[in-house]
Amino acid sequence: MRRLATAAVLMPLVIYVVFFGPVVLFQVVVAAMAFICFQEFASIAQAQGIPLPAMLGQALGLVFLFLPRLEWLAIVGLFLVLSTVALRSPKLADALPMAAAALLGILYIYGGWRCALVLREASPWWLMLPVSINWVGDSAAFFIGKNFGKNKLAPRVSPGKTWEGAIASAVTTTVYGAALLQLAGVALPVWQAVALSFVTGVAGQIGDLVESAMKRGAGVKDSGNTLPGHGGWLDRLDSTLFSMPVVALYLRLAL
Model confidence at 5, pLDDT cuts 50, 70, 90, reads low
185 has pLDDT over 90: no
Query: Are 59 and 67 in contact, with CB atoms under 8 Å apart?
Result: no
Q: What is the pLDDT of residue 3?
A: 57
Per the structure, how many domains does the chain have? 1
Average pLDDT over every residue of 216-224: 86
pLDDT in tens, 232-244: 899 889 999 999 9
75 or 203: which carries more pLDDT confidence?
A: 203
Domain that holds residue 62: 2-254
Collapsing DSSP to helix, strand or coil, 132 comes out as helix
Average pLDDT, the chain: 89
pLDDT in tens, 32-78: 999 999 999 999 999 999 888 899 999 999 999 998 877 767 888 88
Alpha helices in the chain (DSSP H): 2-19, 23-47, 54-66, 72-86, 95-105, 111-122, 124-148, 163-183, 190-218, 233-254
Q: What is the pLDDT of residue 24?
A: 96
255 has pLDDT over 80: no
Q: What is the pLDDT of residue 2?
A: 57
Full-model pTM: 0.90
